[in-house]
Amino acid sequence: MATLRQSLVVLAGGEGRRLGPLPAPKPLVRVGGVPVLERVVAAGADLDEVVVAVRDRPAFTVELHEIGWVLLGPENHVWDRLTTPQGIEVVLVEDIGPASTPELHAAAGPLVGLAAALAAARGDICVAFGGDMPFVTQELVTALAAALTAKPTTDAVAVESGGRIHPLCAAYRRSAALAAARRLLGDRPNDTGRSPSLRALLAELPVARFTQSRIGRCVGGLGGDGGRPLSAALRGIDTPADLRWARAQASETPRTG
């Protein structure tokens, strides 16, 4: 059986309006002295590839250059290839999608960003997270990729916690998820003018739910990040309170027991 390629795809197109005025784009806000996006990207270091979808790629590339990312060269008119200060290679893609897929231009929203990242990725299995989730771990990323690889009749594995399923803590079979996203985006935006939700995408796919107890067995309580609970890995930075919480967490030594 051929080995399946694995990609980490990160949605970093959020504007962070609820955070108020920011000195940098939301994904580049620092937690523990490190931009949040770099923390998320580092969690994919063991995978074959990292793809990041952003809004306004040229401007975002300039911001990345200013914090030490190195531009290796443009892939085409919507993709760039860069390396982080930690030496991880990243493909940066516009979250509106390439012109060759006009359905991705129909609306704004996370599903558009995920579809654009999936279209750019080369992995058969794509693990998806938001670019504002500072406590994602390599163990969690690897566990999700392995769980989907082990389920050939399933097209997605998503974490379930607190009675909710999390589409941005999930692994997707790229071909099936991209086809479903394009179908959803090709219909029309919903009544609010935005694209269908990521949960609508999960509803289109055979999904296995990854519960907290199963994750604990697979990754030892997220021990690679010192034992922080799953709730920390799932929490994004949307408000000033979230940012204060994340910075407080990063300044503490997580429990290991």
* Mean pLDDT in residue range 203-224: 68
Q: Lowest mean pLDDT: which of 34-38, 128-132, 220-224, 225-229?
A: 220-224
Dist. CA 257–CA 229, nearest whole Å: 11
215 confidence band (pLDDT: 50, 70, 90): low
Does 109 or 7 have the greater pLDDT score?
Answer: 7
Identify which of 139, 44, 54, 140 has the alpha carbon closest to the alpha carbon of residue 89: 44
Per-residue DSSP letter, 19: G
DSSP states of 79-127: EEEEE-TT--EEEEEETT--TT-GGGGS--SHHHHHHHHHHH---SEEE
Does 221 or 207 have the greater pLDDT score?
Answer: 207
Return the ∠ at Cα 15 (arms to 70 and 125), rounded to 5°.
Answer: 65
Superfamily of domain 6-251: Spore Coat Polysaccharide Biosynthesis Protein SpsA; Chain A (3.90.550.10)
Dist. CA 217–CA 234, nearest whole Å: 17
Boundaries of every domain in the chain: 6-251
pLDDT at 2: 61
% residues pLDDT > 70 (the chain): 76
Does 61 or 99 have the greater pLDDT score?
Answer: 61
Does 158 or 96 have the greater pLDDT score?
Answer: 158
Return the ∠ at Cα 30 (arms to 223 and 39), rounded to 5°.
Answer: 35
Question: Looking up tokens 């389920």, which residue turns up?
Answer: 151
pLDDT at 222 over 50: no
For 159-210, the pLDDT digits (tens) are 998 888 999 999 999 999 999 999 998 855 444 455 678 999 999 999 999 8
* Mean pLDDT in residue range 152-158: 95
* pTM score of the predicted model: 0.86
Of all helices (H) and strands (E), which one includes residue 160? strand 156-161
* Mean pLDDT in residue range 105-129: 86
pLDDT at 13: 81
